[in-house]
């Protein structure tokens, strides 16, 4: 767990779980993607717009631990551009 924390930092979310009869914990790391503005303000609705761009979160990587050891990790590529 310490090696993952040193390499990736503090996780954004932690999920306790069980794998069979063993307790596990999954750490999830999020990234944020900002859509292009096409040169104007960002449109949120009929009467709502802003020059501050919205950020959409997506899972970027995660690791599952059992007994303090990594049993699974995954890197998720970023979504395609909007």
**3-state DSSP percent of the chain in helix, strand and coil, to 5:** 10, 55, 40
Q: Is 68 helix (H, G, I), strand (E, B) or coil?
A: coil
pLDDT top residue among 2 and 34: 2
pLDDT at 24 over 80: yes
Q: Please indicate, yes or no, whether the overall pTM of this predicted structure exceeds 0.85.
A: no
At 33-82, the pLDDT tens digits run: 877 666 666 666 666 666 667 788 899 999 999 999 999 999 988 877 65
């Amino acid at each position: 767990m310490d090696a993952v924390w040193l390499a990736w930092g503090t996780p954004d979310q932690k999920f306790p779980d069980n794998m069979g009869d063993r307790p596990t914990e999954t750490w999830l790391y999020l990234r944020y993607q900002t859509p292009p503005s096409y040169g104007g303000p960002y449109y949120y609705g009929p009467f709502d717009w802003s020059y501050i761009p919205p950020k959409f979160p997506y899972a970027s990587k995660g690791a599952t631990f059992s007994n303090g050891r990594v049993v699974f990790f995954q890197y998720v590529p970023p979504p395609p551009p909007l």
